[in-house]
A and B are shown apart, each in its own frame.
Chain A
Amino acid sequence: MIRFQKVFKSFSGHMVLNNLSFDIETNTVVSILGPSGIGKTTILRLISGAINPDFGVVEVTGKKIGYIFQDPRLLPWRTARDNVALGLIAEGKPKDESRRIAAGWMKKLDLEGFEDYYPGELSGGMMQRVSIGRALAIEPDILLMDEPFSNLNVELKKTLMTMLESIFEEYQTTVVYVTHDISEAVRISDKILSILPGSVTEEIQPDDFQKLMQNSCIDEYESDLTKKRKKEPMFTKKVTAI
């Protein structure tokens, strides 16, 4: 269970999350949609505990969090396999075993043969897959994904999505999936959380096409709803940043 209750967060006077509330049930896949700069990454960082809210409550019930960051964030001085094994070794698993498990994940992610490459020797998409492997390897019960497929081609994206779906079914996982791609969101999520300016959230069922259409251009701030909200002084006044 992940629960945000009246969460406020600002960075050096710049209000990003302004009274944000939502719930994510355990073992559901929830996508977060929203325009760039609205605070999606900030939400994931709050869930992961990397940062704390200024006000409000962030409640996270779970044992282990796997985080696929928006950028790969690999250790440049460690090989791809050791990067994947990082979380396992941190858990106290023996090195050999961790490396073996890591190699298994690399195979699943179509990275076989690149185990001993350093991140600097990999392509952007490959680094991203190493980062995905690192998060999945620890078999988290909460998985945070920040646009994990943004650097991958369509083919690979499809393969990985299928793989993820089967993983979500096999292991009981709560997934928070940040994306710009509505079709991806519809495909894998139980619920879509659309974040609009002013930290207004809208829950959308993946089969609610009318609402999705309304929100389909949120990236360009063009959704009717968004425009309406922006006109309302109640929100625009509070959310100076947006």
Chain B
Amino acid sequence: MPVPSTRRQKFTVGGMITSFHNFLLADKVLYGVLGVIIFLVFWQALSWIFNAMIVASPLATINALFALLTETKTWEYIMITLFRLIVGLFLGSIVGLLLGLAAGTNKKIRQVLEPIKWTSMTIPAIVISIMAMLWFGMGSEQVIFVVIIIVAPITYVNAMEGRFAIDEKLIEMGRCFNLPLKMFFREIYLPGIAASVIAGFALTAGMGVRVVVLAEFMGAHDGIGYGLSKSYMYLDTPELFAWILISLALLGLLEFGIMKPLKTHMMRWKKGGNLS
């Protein structure tokens, strides 16, 4: 809000911009709403420019979305995708976390893992999906495997960076007080890397959603990606767009249902610190 001042303030353009800026900052939601409006306007404009087969209008998409949501199949698909996503993210994060910690602590382990990291980071998800189909066939194992391979290296890098950032003095303290390995993990390593790993979660979750849909599109008989592939086959553009909206909602669910609460819990010690 522009503060009504008792003192007389000079009226300057800079001052005006600052108070407008504060006004917007005071209500973070406003920026979000602004973003959605810009997005919708852009989308509507595109649908006017292009054929309805290429870009479905927002209205047609909403209609298709409601039609989809009345079918139980849709909800089944959403639940299946959500399950694969959560399992894949969880396993991928655990693998990345443990390897990242080990690599951050031991240079030799790091050197051994480096080529594997680069390989898994550069192979396109679609190639991983095709190979996974050869090994696991169509279905959940394939999809989950792809998510793990994509997610693990990101968490790995973040965990390693986090490990580097842990103050060696804390580790020396832990050794002086004879902390057993389990306590080293719980009291020093895990909380120490939490900040950087959690910061990476936003990226990881987004990647996870993209990859799970892709892997389902390629090789599954159910899930959001499969729904997408069907609408693609029938050239049902509004439904295709509706599926995209659903996967967006899935990401939102992950972010606000799991990641945010986790972050608040893990980082609760940081709020209100006096930083001295």
Contact B187 A75 (CB under 8 A): yes
* Cβ-Cβ contact count across A and B, 8 Å cutoff: 61
Whether B176 sits at the interface, judged by CB under 8 Å, is yes
Give Cα A118–Cα B276 distance, bound, in whole angstroms: 13
Contact B176 A75 (CB under 8 A): no
Residues facing B in A43-83 (CB within 8 A) are: 45, 48-50, 65, 67, 69, 71, 73, 75-78
Q: Which residue in chain A gives the minimum CB-CB distance to B182?
A: A90
Whether B261 sits at the interface, judged by CB under 8 Å, is no
**CB-CB < 8 A to B270: which residues of A?**
76, 120
**CB-CB < 8 A to A160: which residues of B?**
none
**CB-CB < 8 A to B14: which residues of A?**
none
Question: With A75-B188, A78-B187 as given contacts, are A90 and B273 in contact (CB-CB < 8 Å)?
Answer: no
By size class, the interface of chain A is: 20 to 34
Whether A86 sits at the interface, judged by CB under 8 Å, is yes
Question: With A50-B175, A67-B176, A120-B275 as given contacts, are A73 and B169 in contact (CB-CB < 8 Å)?
Answer: yes
Give Cα A71–Cα B170 distance, bound, in whole angstroms: 11
**CB-CB < 8 A to B269: which residues of A?**
76-78, 118, 120
Give Cα A47–Cα B276 distance, bound, in whole angstroms: 30
Give Cα A123–Cα B188 distance, bound, in whole angstroms: 22
Whether A124 sits at the interface, judged by CB under 8 Å, is yes
Question: With A75-B187, A75-B188 as given contacts, are A118 and B175 in contact (CB-CB < 8 Å)?
Answer: no
**CB-CB < 8 A to A112: which residues of B?**
none
Q: Which residue in chain B gives the minimum CB-CB distance to A124?
A: B276
Whether B234 sits at the interface, judged by CB under 8 Å, is no
Mark each residue of chain B from 67 to 82: 1 if its CB lies under 8 Å from any CB of chain A, else 0: 0000000000000000
Give Cα A138–Cα B270 distance, bound, in whole angstroms: 28
Give Cα A166–Cα B188 distance, bound, in whole angstroms: 33
Whether A87 sits at the interface, judged by CB under 8 Å, is yes
**CB-CB < 8 A to A89: which residues of B?**
183
Contact A90 B170 (CB under 8 A): no
Give Cα A78–Cα B192 distance, bound, in whole angstroms: 11
**CB-CB < 8 A to B275: which residues of A?**
120
Mark each residue of chain B from 176 to 199: 1 if its CB lies under 8 Å from any CB of chain A, else 0: 111110010001100110100000
Q: Give the number of residues in B that approach A within 8 Å (Cβ atoms).
A: 23
Whether A222 sits at the interface, judged by CB under 8 Å, is no
**CB-CB < 8 A to B4: which residues of A?**
none
**CB-CB < 8 A to A124: which residues of B?**
276
Residues facing B in A174-198 (CB within 8 A) are: none
**CB-CB < 8 A to B272: which residues of A?**
120-121
Interface residues of A (CB under 8 A from B): 45, 48-50, 65, 67, 69, 71, 73, 75-78, 86-87, 89-91, 118, 120-124, 134, 138
**What are 19 sample pairs from A and B whose C-beta atoms fall under 8 A apart?**
A49-B176, A50-B176, A67-B173, A71-B169, A75-B187, A75-B191, A76-B270, A77-B192, A77-B194, A86-B177, A86-B179, A86-B187, A87-B178, A90-B177, A91-B178, A120-B274, A120-B275, A124-B276, A134-B177
Interface residues of B (CB under 8 A from A): 169-170, 172-173, 175-180, 183, 187-188, 191-192, 194, 269-270, 272-276
4 A-B pairs with the lowest CB-CB distances in the bound complex, closest first: A120-B273, A77-B191, A118-B269, A77-B269
